[in-house]
Chain A
């Protein structure tokens, strides 16, 4: 059973940097899947942040591209998300997600972690 567990600070100051990690169990991030981060502001819809392949190739949401970095640590089997220059609009639940092996969809989701941007 594949499980994804997000972790990181629940509170980040405006203009600061948001850093989250995702521990993956039951699967290897070195396998063929891509891995994504998705966020959801309170009471709003879903926004794809970006993804990383097993070879380390990245694709990012154009609206966030200048501020986002997604990386992978194969030795720890974990993913990381860094978002710089955060503002209140970055307050959201952040999900770590595995992309489906066949097709273009997300088949396994973490439970999500809430990040609030506030002074």
Chain B
């Protein structure tokens, strides 16, 4: 089974700064099957990026995804107060989905 490991567990930044979140797969995966989600307290997650780099409908262009093979990155170019949340990467492989453990982006 492929394991997704996100780093760091917690990222402390300030509004206006750039955030770089990482997701590493235990073996090479197709970028087509990698997505990123944002979850705020008390809310359901929402998709930000799918296919590793395609922004979902309505998502700000401050969010960008990249990567291939085992290493994937979500970048938030200029942090806004509403961006502070937990972020998850997700993979589809072998007919099932799995998630990373999450990165808590805090002020």
A residues near B (Cβ < 8 Å) are 36, 45-48, 50-51, 59-62, 95, 100, 103-107, 109-112
Contact = CB atoms under 8 A, between A and B. Distances in A.
B54 interface: yes
Contacts of A47: 99
B90 interface: yes
B35 interface: yes
B47 A105 contact: yes
A105 B99 CA distance: 11
Nearest to B36: A105
Contacts of B45: 46, 106, 109
Interface of B: 1, 32-33, 35, 37, 43-47, 50-51, 54, 56, 88, 90, 92, 95-102
Given A103-B51, A104-B35, A48 B44 contact: no
Given A104-B35, A107-B56, A112-B44, A48 B98 contact: yes
Given A103-B51, A107-B47, A59 B33 contact: no
A28 B91 CA distance: 26
Given A46-B90, A46-B99, A48-B97, 5 more contacts: A61-B96, A103-B50, A104-B32, A106-B37, A107-B47
Contacts of A105: 35, 47, 50, 56, 90, 92
A45 B44 contact: no
